[in-house]
Structure 1
Amino acid sequence: MPIGVGLIVPIAAALRASRNALLRGGDDRLWSMTTMCIPIALACAMMAPFLPVPAMASWGCIALSALLHTGYNLFIVRAYRQGDLGQTYPIARGCSPFLLLIGAAAFAQELPGPLSLTGLLLVPGGIVALAFQGRTIGRKTPLFSSDFGCYAFQR
Structure 2
Amino acid sequence: MDLVVLLVVLLSALLQTGWNVLLKLRLDPLSALTLVVLGGGAVALPVALALGPPEPVLWPWMAGSMSAHLAFYGCLVGAYARADLGLVYPVARGGALLMTAAIAILVLHEPVRPIGVAGIALLSASVLVTAWHSRGEATQAAALALALGSGAAVTAFSLIDGTAGRLGSPSVYTAWLFVADAVLVALGLMLWKGTGFFGPVRRHWALALIGGAMLFVSYYLCVWAMTRAPISLVAAVRESSVLFSAGFAVWVLHEKLRPERLLAAVLVVAGVTLIKLH
Code of the residue aligned with 2:88 in structure 1: it is T
Cα deviation for residue 60 of structure 1 reads 0.8
Cα deviation for residue 84 of structure 1 reads 2.0
Query: What secondary structure does 2:139 align onto?
Result: coil
Identify unmatched segments of 5+ residues in structure 2: 150-191, 193-278
- On the 8 A contact 1:78/1:148 being kept in 2, the answer is no
Cα deviation for residue 51 of structure 1 reads 0.8
Identify unmatched segments of 5+ residues in structure 1: none
- CA offsets 1:58-113 (integer angstroms, 9 cap, x no match): 21111111221232222211111222221111112222221212332465343633
Query: What secondary structure does 1:128 align onto?
Result: helix
Alpha-carbon distance change, 71 to 92 in structure 1, aligned in 2, over 3 angstroms: same
- Aligned pairs, how many? 143
Code of the residue aligned with 1:127 in structure 2: it is V
CA distance in 1, matches of 2:95, 2:88: 11
- CA offsets 1:21-61 (integer angstroms, 9 cap, x no match): 43223452111100111111011112112114322122111
Q: What is the match of residue 46 of structure 2? A: 46
- On the 8 A contact 2:79/2:144 being kept in 1, the answer is no
- On the 8 A contact 2:88/2:143 being kept in 1, the answer is no
- On the 8 A contact 1:101/1:111 being kept in 2, the answer is no
Code of the residue aligned with 2:74 in structure 1: it is L
Does 2:142 correspond to 1:145? yes
In the superposition, the TM-score normalised over structure 2's length comes to: 0.43
Query: What secondary structure does 2:126 align onto?
Result: helix
Between the two proteins, what is the percent identity of the paired residues?
Answer: 22
* Equivalence map 1:1-155=2 (5 Å): 9=11, 13=14, 16-17=17-18, 19-105=19-105, 108-110=108-110, 112-133=112-133, 135-141=134-140, 144-145=141-142, 148-149=145-146
- On the 8 A contact 2:90/2:130 being kept in 1, the answer is yes
- Whose RCO is larger (CA < 8 A, sep 6+)? 2
Q: Which has the higher helix share?
A: 2
Cα deviation for residue 147 of structure 1 reads 9.5
CA distance in 2, matches of 1:52, 1:107: 34
In the superposition, the TM-score normalised over structure 1's length comes to: 0.72
Alpha-carbon distance change, 62 to 136 in structure 1, aligned in 2, over 3 angstroms: closer
Alpha-carbon distance change, 33 to 130 in structure 1, aligned in 2, over 3 angstroms: same
CA distance in 2, matches of 1:97, 1:14: 17
CA distance in 2, matches of 1:59, 1:103: 23
CA distance in 2, matches of 1:99, 1:14: 22
